[in-house]
Amino acid sequence: MMVRVLGEGQYCVEGGTLDRLLQMEKRLEEAVVTNDETEFHAALNEVVSLLREEGESPHPGHLGESELVVPPADYTLAEARELLGGGEKEVH
């Protein structure tokens, strides 16, 4: 799976790394739904760290689409909600 970290680049993840990423993504989504800023930052940092450490960068000329887009590690929960099109509304 090709994953883009906004402002940073793309990473290819497969196998066990992909499985771990998808579990982390669920945790990140739950933090957005519950409006938990602390958990959001912890989960986002774990996702970005995993991608940096275990993801592989595509060759420099690669122009393919990303199947998943992740905000940068310094995003706030409010910025993530805006990115997702939710503004400041709570998700129920």
pLDDT, tens digit, 9 for 90 and up, residues 1-21: 999 999 988 999 999 999 999
Mean pLDDT across the chain, nearest whole number? 87
Hey, is 69 helix, strand or coil? strand
d(CA 28, CA 11): 18
Does pLDDT of 41 surpass 80? yes
Its pTM stands at 0.82
Length of the chain: 92
Identity at 54, one-letter amino acid code: E
**Mean pLDDT, rounded, for 20-49:** 93
pLDDT at 38: 95
pLDDT at 5: 93
